[in-house]
Amino acid sequence: MKRFTSATLAFLLLPLTAVHLLNCSNVAAQEVQQSQSSDTRQAAATKPVASEAPNSTSTEAAAVRPAPVRIPDGTPIEVEAPYMYRSMDFKPNDRISFRVVNPVKIDGVTLVEQGANATGRIERAKRGGHWGKAGLLVWTMQSVTAVDGSQVSVRPSSIRLRGDSKGAKVATAMIITGALMPLIAPVALLHGFKRGHDAFIPAGKRYSLVVNGDAAVRPDPPSKKTDVEQL
């Protein structure tokens, strides 16, 4: 009878024991999961933030940028007109551009490239006028553009051009017309409407300039050679 009672009690308590063990297992699993989450957050909080790497390209470019090179005072620079200019196309204070014929090199380093821009300022510009009056073009050269974009000052030199004058021919034609046809002398005035020629600069016309004072120019950095060039 005692054995039967003990077996009955054990059978009745078995579900309660199983439920208790299951609850204990769930609690243990939750504690493990919370512990892992806490460790992950602490690791993320203490992980050092990687600093951005500096721009190696700009650093290298700044490191290899050559020092300025001096263009001595009095260095000659030859320029030419890229195309034909006419006095009728300009007015005072306009800019006029030429191009450098030969590069300017100091100790083998190019400081002004061939074809670089040379700038002047127009002082006077007149087209050919009536009565055969010739056109006029006067300008002063100012600077030349170096390889670093700076302006190399050139010694001011005023250049003056005048077109062909027809004044003598017009006056002669008027005298002859008036002498031969005195009754229609006013016709001679028609010769006064003949214009003289504009002053012009032909394409390719060259002029010699001189650097005005020492100029410091920063040359271009040396280009990196490829493996094929090095071989």
pLDDT tens digits along 135-191:
899 999 999 999 999 999 999 888 999 876 554 444 444 444 444 455 444 544 444
199 touches 161 (CB < 8 A): yes
> 90-106: per-residue pLDDT in tens?
999 999 999 999 999 99
Q: Is the pLDDT of residue 27 over 90?
A: no
In the chain, the amino acid numbered 88 is M
CA distance 102 to 79: 8
What is the band of 197 on the pLDDT scale with cuts at 50, 70, 90? Answer: confident
CA distance 123 to 158: 9
The predicted structure's pLDDT at residue 134: 80
CA distance 122 to 125: 7
Across the chain, the runs of DSSP E, i.e. the strands, are 69-71, 76-80, 85-86, 95-100, 104-106, 109-112, 117-126, 136-145, 151-153, 158-162, 200-201, 206-210, 215-217
Q: Could you tell me which of 105, 112, 109, 96 has the C-alpha nearest to residue 144? A: 112
Helices (H) and strands (E) in the chain, counts: 4, 13
SS3 of 155-197? CCCEEEEECCCCHHHHHHHHHHHHHHCHHHHHHHHHHHHCCCC
Whole-number percent of the chain with pLDDT over 70: 52
Q: Which domains does the chain have, with CATH numbers?
A: 66-164+195-219 (2.40.128.260)
